[in-house]
């Protein structure tokens, strides 16, 4: 097994000390969707791998889900809310236009010492957030950073559009990033990110922003919902994810065989399987849980990470690779040694 390259410039390491997740109780199954749009369980499963998605209750907000996931991560990390110095909340379905969802979470947690902000990078939001947390921790600025990925996508989903309504679900995942020393695991060792704004039409939700403000009648009333060009996204996602993984392998001085667990954004089982095949990743190294939750955008990787962490899929010394692709277009990855 190869060893991850080390850097003499880093006095500290950014270690994932705790994870947590929060999944709404309400479920929307494929059978439920057949009563809403013209589809079938076989059609959905074959094309996406999804069986069930969880939907927030009418009175359940983005900040509520985020806070519950955060509490679990904080408890597992063995710190208190008062120890958290920074809260980064990745979401495209915020509590409201402003203040940020992160500020609501800060208040709900009682994390009085923390400053907080939201990060909008769609499905790549959590890996972006880990990259930011990594830099704040390894340069010695903070000891404890909370990164959250959370979505209530059901609130911007058009349940008359078969192409999109079968895909999305709600949920939240969180991780506490603590400062570690050179005698422990390498933690979040390498992060990489990219964007291509020219591809925004592939994945978007146009209203209500400055381009389509609240006070201006919409030419297309459906602009309040998410739009996805599935064929275009499929092709772009596979290519960008493979390029991103190759970037990680090169800069970390390891091969794909050295990766113990590959946790991709859960966008579509067919995309994940295509990527794994091209990378020649063994099936047992690829984590897929999309059948239980659907695509939860920024929440999908932290939910999967928490499931793996608490379920014993991640062991001491394991190299875990997180990778995401989403609207923006955005993409990114984190290489972590536990």
Active site residues: 123, 265, 295
Looking only at the bridges linking them, the beta strands covering 170-180 and 13-22 are antiparallel
For tokens 């409201």, name the residue: 96
Q: In what order do the strands lie in the sheet with 330-337?
A: 187-195, 330-337, 319-326, 261-264
For tokens 């996406």, name the residue: 48
HSE-up (13 A, CA, CB side) for residue 264:
27
When computed from its CA atoms, the radius of gyration of the chain, rounded to whole angstroms, is 19
Q: Three-class SS of residue 205?
A: coil
Q: Which CB contacts under 8 angstroms, 24+ apart, belong to 225-230?
A: 225/156, 225/157, 225/158, 225/161, 225/164, 226/153, 226/156, 226/157, 226/158, 226/164, 226/168, 227/164, 227/203, 228/163, 228/164, 228/167, 228/202, 228/203, 229/201, 229/202, 229/203, 230/163
Q: Name the nearest CA neighbour of 19 among 171, 208, 175, 144.
A: 175
The answer to whether the CB of 147 falls within 8 A of the CB of 90 is yes
What is the CB neighbour count within 10 angstroms for residue 75? 14
- Per-residue HEC secondary structure of 231-251 comes to HHHHHHHHHHHHHHHHHHHHH
Element (H, E) at 113: none
Residue 75 has which token pair? 């408890």
For tokens 């506490």, name the residue: 176
């Amino acid at each position: 097994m190869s060893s991850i390259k080390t850097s003499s410039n880093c006095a500290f390491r950014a270690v994932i000390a705790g994870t947590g997740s929060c999944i709404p109780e309400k479920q929307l199954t494929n059978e439920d969707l057949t009563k809403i749009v013209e589809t079938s369980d076989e059609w959905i499963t074959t094309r996406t791998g999804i069986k069930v998605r969880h939907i927030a209750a009418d009175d359940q907000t983005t900040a509520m889900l985020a806070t519950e996931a955060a509490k679990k991560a904080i408890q597992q990390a063995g710190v208190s809310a008062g120890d958290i110095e920074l809260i980064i909340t990745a979401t495209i379905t915020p509590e409201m236009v402003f203040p940020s969802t992160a500020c609501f979470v800060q208040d709900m947690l009682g994390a009085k010492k923390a400053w907080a902000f939201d990060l909008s990078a769609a499905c790549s939001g959590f890996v972006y957030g880990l990259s930011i947390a990594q830099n704040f921790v390894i340069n010695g600025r903070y000891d404890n950073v909370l990164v959250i990925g959370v979505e209530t996508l059901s609130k911007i989903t058009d349940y008359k559009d078969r192409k999109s309504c079968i895909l999305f679900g709600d949920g939240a995942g969180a991780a506490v990033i603590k400062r570690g020393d050179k005698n422990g695991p390498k933690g979040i060792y390498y992060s990489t990110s990219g964007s291509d704004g020219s591809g925004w039409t592939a994945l978007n939700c146009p209203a209500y922003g400055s381009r389509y403000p609240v006070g201006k009648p919409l030419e297309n009333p459906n602009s309040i919902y998410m739009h996805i060009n599935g064929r275009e996204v499929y092709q772009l996602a596979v290519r960008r994810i493979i390029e991103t993984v190759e970037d990680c392998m090169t800069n970390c001085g390891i091969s794909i065989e050295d990766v113990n667990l590959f946790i991709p954004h859960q966008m579509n089982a067919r995309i994940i399987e295509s990527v794994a095949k091209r990378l020649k990743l063994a099936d047992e190294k690829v984590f897929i849980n999309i059948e239980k939750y659907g695509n939860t955008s920024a929440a999908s990787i932290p939910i999967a990470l928490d499931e793996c962490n608490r379920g014993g899929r991640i062991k001491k010394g394991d190299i875990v690779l997180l990778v995401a692709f989403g609207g923006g277009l955005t993409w990114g990855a984190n290489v972590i040694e536990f």
